[in-house]
């Protein structure tokens, strides 16, 4: 059990690095600054509920199912390219992703990153299970780590929508009508996040997400 906890903490640290998160934890006193859903405009409420619904719909699935439904909620948008570090991460995962992602890095965006990250979780959890069953030796574990895969425990799927709802508080909304983008500052579990959504065919998609430590949350803007 201790080994699982250590593996999870190490994996979580890498997650924070890739998402641009500092080592700051959620401060509950910040809740006072959140906007009650009842005070949001109809459009803002629609966006807020969409973010919650996306988390619920994906989070209640197994990792394998989640991988194949990511494109229902995330999108690659050229206005929101991946950071160099995120691109390096996706490049490292490409041998595992096969032809399921766009091979041209200039076209990678939030969807591609989410696909790569979910695939890493799948492989990491599988490795942990095989280690616990005594089905892999230290040499194979070392080879997997060279590929960027660490043994990791994952949380179980959500059992109720409330579990997803409790991850969110909303702080600010900004709409760029000309670009068709809505950016939201919100709590996402134990951190703050900026999510930008675009609308296509009457459907919202998450085109950008970055997580921030509380003290360095940037002002709302339509682009990075």
- Residue 124's Cα: distance from chain center in Å? 16
What is the crossing angle of helices 84-97 and 2-19, to 10°? 120
Query: Per the domain annotation, does 194 fall within a domain?
Result: yes
Query: Per the domain annotation, does 221 fall within a domain?
Result: no
Query: Per the domain annotation, does 71 fall within a domain?
Result: yes
Q: Tell me how far apart the alpha carbons of residues 116 and 100 are, in angstroms, rounded to a whole number.
A: 10
Query: Per the domain annotation, does 223 fall within a domain?
Result: no
Query: Per the domain annotation, does 224 fall within a domain?
Result: no
Length of the chain: 224
Query: Per the domain annotation, does 111 fall within a domain?
Result: yes
Query: Per the domain annotation, does 188 fall within a domain?
Result: yes
pLDDT digit of tens for each residue in the chain (224 aa)?
434 433 333 333 344 445 444 333 334 444 448 898 889 999 999 999 999 999 999 999 999 999 999 999 999 999 999 999 999 999 999 998 988 888 788 899 999 999 999 999 999 999 999 999 999 898 889 989 988 999 989 889 999 999 999 999 999 999 998 899 999 999 999 889 999 999 998 899 999 999 886 555 444 443 33
Q: Tell me how far apart the alpha carbons of residues 188 and 52 are, in angstroms, rounded to a whole number.
A: 10
Q: Give pLDDT, residue 83.
A: 94
Q: Give pLDDT, residue 100.
A: 83
Domain that holds residue 26: 2-216
Query: Per the domain annotation, does 222 fall within a domain?
Result: no
Q: Give pLDDT, residue 98.
A: 84
Q: Tell me how far apart the alpha carbons of residues 97 and 86 are, in angstroms, rounded to a whole number.
A: 15
Q: Are 116 and 82 within 8 A, CB to CB? A: no
Count of structural domains within the chain: 1
Q: Tell me how far apart the alpha carbons of residues 176 and 195 are, in angstroms, rounded to a whole number.
A: 14
């Amino acid at each position: 059990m201790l080994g699982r906890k250590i593996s999870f903490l190490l994996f979580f640290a890498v997650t924070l690095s890739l998402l641009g998160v500092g080592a700051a934890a959620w401060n509950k006193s910040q809740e006072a600054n959140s906007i009650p859903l009842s005070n949001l405009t109809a459009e803002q409420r629609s966006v807020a509920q969409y973010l919650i619904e996306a988390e619920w719909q994906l989070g209640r699935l197994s990792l394998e199912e989640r991988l194949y439904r990511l494109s229902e909620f995330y999108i690659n948008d050229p206005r929101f390219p991946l950071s160099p570090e995120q691109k390096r991460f996706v490049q490292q995962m490409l041998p595992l992703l096969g032809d399921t992602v766009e091979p041209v890095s200039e076209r990678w965006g939030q969807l591609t990153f989410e696909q790569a990250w979910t695939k890493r979780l799948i492989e990491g959890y599988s490795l942990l299970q095989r280690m616990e069953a005594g089905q892999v030796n230290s040499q194979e574990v070392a080879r997997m780590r060279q590929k960027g895969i660490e043994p990791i425990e994952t949380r179980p799927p959500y059992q109720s929508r409330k579990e997803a709802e409790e991850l969110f508080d909303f702080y600010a909304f900004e709409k760029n009508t000309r670009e068709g983008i809505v950016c939201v500052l919100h709590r996402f579990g134990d951190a703050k996040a900026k999510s930008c959504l675009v609308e296509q065919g009457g459907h919202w998609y998450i085109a950008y997400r970055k997580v921030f430590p509380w003290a360095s949350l940037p002002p709302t803007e339509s682009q990075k």
